[in-house]
């Protein structure tokens, strides 16, 4: 292994060896190995709980971690492993409330998210398993591919960074062009423009909020992506009875889509503003036969989880934290002992795979027995509370404005992914 990435990895490992526990120490000392496993499992538990909280976006969760991480007693390496494990498991479990909550009426199925459409069809258990497979296959693919892909990406990164506005503009044009009708293209362009304007007005605000790790991302994402589907769900008929657990697509297609999602996770880890949903759209265009609800679920889950791994390598290669989890990781001054950190990620991925199936099935069953409009209204109120906690009183105004904009693509039957203009727009302008 040679090149700038290898040099960076070697340098980080050398400095870590002097600062904390080295991999050789763990291999020779069962007590240290048991401690590492305990910290990793604790992080998995934390990430599992956070992933099941409706409306708690991964970045907001990571910012909370970043705020409390320095105060956690323990070896920095072990605390860092717990942070990474929490981030990985969060990406597994957050698919569960995303599918179980906000299911609209059957008449709105055409504008619903892929996971919601499968739940409406009685295929919720299958959707959960597709998400779990997308995430775990992405972990297993990203670990061996991380070094060669990172070497390739870092080679072109300076050029991409120098022309970031053009790259993002090309992404926006591609997303709008991917819509099937002119009406949807107009809806996508309008959604992007409105979201970009909202981001330009609010992202740089520093509101006074009850939580120290506050910011405007919570009300923005809750309003843009959470509230609109919950509003439709209030008038829906709830979750219908769910059928079998079998996966009605080929193993080859699932594997190919997950692999493509893992590769796309590298792009998300390096290019600001490009989300898992955007990368998933690109994956479905590239993978033959992948453009379906099932393919979208696998791809999105794969991108989301793989991004956690590639973000770690991005931190090593370019020295910049690309995700909130990496910010939390840096805040504990954890050494970049990649063999140890990757081992924790793999353990977290395996446990997340099991948890999302066990917990996901039970989650659907419980939610299916509740009065759905009341549950949807309660989750909507929770999003408002989270907005206030993260952004203070101004969070209410941001949440309401974001909700109004979030309804635009829904009503014009365009993809919600255009709402990522809230981040892409300001980045294109260099703000």
Expressed in angstroms, the distance from the first to the final Cα of the chain is 38
The answer to whether 261 touches 302, Cβ cutoff 8 Å, is yes
CA distance 399 to 417: 18
Residue 428 makes CB contacts below 8 A (sequence gap 6+) with 164, 165, 168, 169, 172, 196
CA distance 242 to 367: 12
Task: Report the pLDDT value the prediction gives residue 16, as an integer from 0 to 100.
Answer: 39
CA distance 220 to 205: 12
Q: Coil, strand or helix: which one is 388?
A: helix
Residue 400 makes CB contacts below 8 A (sequence gap 6+) with 223
Tens digit of each residue's pLDDT (9 = 90 or more) over 258-310:
888 888 887 777 777 677 667 777 776 666 655 578 888 888 888 888 888 88
- The full 3-state SS of 8-52, as one line of letters, equals HHHHHHHHHHHHCCCHHHHHHCHHHHHHHHHHHHHHHHHHHHHHC
Task: Report the pLDDT value the prediction gives residue 402, as an integer from 0 to 100.
Answer: 95
Task: Report the pLDDT value the prediction gives residue 417, as an integer from 0 to 100.
Answer: 85
Q: Which helix (H) or strand (E) holds 83?
A: helix 76-93
Averaged in consecutive runs of 10 residues, what is the pLDDT profile of the chain (431 residues)?
44 41 61 86 89 71 66 80 89 87 62 79 90 92 85 81 86 87 93 95 87 78 87 81 80 86 79 72 65 82 86 81 76 82 92 92 87 88 88 93 93 88 85 54
The answer to whether 196 touches 421, Cβ cutoff 8 Å, is yes
CB-facing half-sphere around the CA of 343: CA atoms within 13 A = 16
List Cβ<8 Å contacts ≥24 apart for 172-178. Answer: 172/421, 172/424, 172/428, 174/282, 175/278, 175/281, 175/415, 175/417, 175/418, 176/418, 178/281, 178/285, 178/415
The residues spanned by each domain of the chain are 32-183+241-371
Largest CA distance in the chain: 64
- Interhelix angle 76-93/324-331, rounded to 10 degrees, is 160
CA distance 150 to 266: 8
The pTM for the full model equals 0.81
The answer to whether 260 touches 306, Cβ cutoff 8 Å, is no
**Which residue shows structure tokens 């120490």?**
25
Task: Report the pLDDT value the prediction gives residue 59, as an integer from 0 to 100.
Answer: 62
CA distance 180 to 408: 17
Task: Report the pLDDT value the prediction gives residue 153, as an integer from 0 to 100.
Answer: 77
CA distance 429 to 431: 6
Task: Report the pLDDT value the prediction gives residue 401, as an integer from 0 to 100.
Answer: 96
CA distance 355 to 376: 24
Task: Report the pLDDT value the prediction gives residue 28, as an integer from 0 to 100.
Answer: 57
């Amino acid at each position: 292994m040679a090149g700038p990435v290898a040099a960076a990895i070697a340098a980080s490992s050398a400095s870590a060896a002097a600062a904390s526990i080295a991999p050789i120490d763990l291999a020779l000392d069962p007590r240290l190995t048991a401690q590492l496993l305990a910290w990793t499992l604790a992080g998995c538990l934390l990430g599992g709980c956070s992933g099941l909280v409706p409306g708690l976006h991964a970045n907001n969760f990571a910012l909370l971690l970043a705020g409390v991480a320095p105060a956690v007693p323990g070896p920095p390496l072990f605390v860092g492993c717990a942070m990474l494990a929490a981030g990985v498991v969060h990406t597994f479990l957050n698919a569960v409330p995303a599918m179980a909550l906000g299911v609209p009426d059957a008449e709105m199925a055409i504008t619903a998210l892929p996971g919601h459409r499968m739940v409406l069809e009685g295929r919720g258990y299958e959707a959960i398993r597709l998400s779990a497979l997308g995430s775990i296959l992405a972990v297993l693919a990203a670990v061996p591919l991380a070094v060669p892909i990172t070497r390739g990406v870092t080679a072109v990164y300076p050029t991409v960074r120098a022309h970031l506005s053009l790259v993002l503009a090309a992404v926006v044009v591609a997303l709008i062009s991917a819509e099937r009708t002119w009406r949807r293209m107009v809806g996508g362009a309008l959604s992007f423009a409105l979201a970009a304007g909202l981001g330009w007005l609010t992202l740089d605000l520093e509101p006074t909020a009850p939580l120290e790790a506050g910011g405007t991302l919570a009300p923005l994402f809750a309003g843009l992506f959470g509230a609109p589907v919950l509003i439709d769900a209030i008038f829906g008929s709830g979750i219908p009875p769910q059928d079998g657990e079998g996966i009605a697509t080929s193993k080859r297609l699932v594997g190919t889509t997950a692999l493509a999602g893992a590769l796309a996770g590298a792009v998300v880890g390096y290019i600001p503003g490009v989300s898992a949903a955007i990368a998933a759209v690109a994956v479905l265009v590239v993978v033959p036969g992948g453009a379906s609800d099932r393919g979208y679920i696998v791809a999105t889950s794969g991108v989301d989880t793989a991004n956690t791994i590639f973000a770690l390598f991005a931190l090593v290669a370019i020295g910049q934290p690309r995700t909130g989890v990496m910010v939390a990781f840096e805040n504990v001054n954890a050494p970049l002992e990649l063999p140890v950190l990757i081992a924790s990620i793999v353990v977290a991925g395996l446990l997340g795979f099991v948890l999302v199936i066990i917990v996901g099935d039970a989650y659907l069953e419980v939610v299916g027995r509740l009065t759905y409009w009341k549950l949807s209204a309660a989750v909507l109120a929770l999003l408002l509370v989270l907005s206030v906690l993260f952004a203070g009183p101004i969070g209410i105004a941001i949440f309401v404005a974001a909700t109004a904009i979030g309804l635009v693509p829904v009503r014009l039957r365009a993809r919600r992914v255009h709402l990522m203009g809230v981040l892409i727009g300001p980045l294109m302008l260099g703000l």
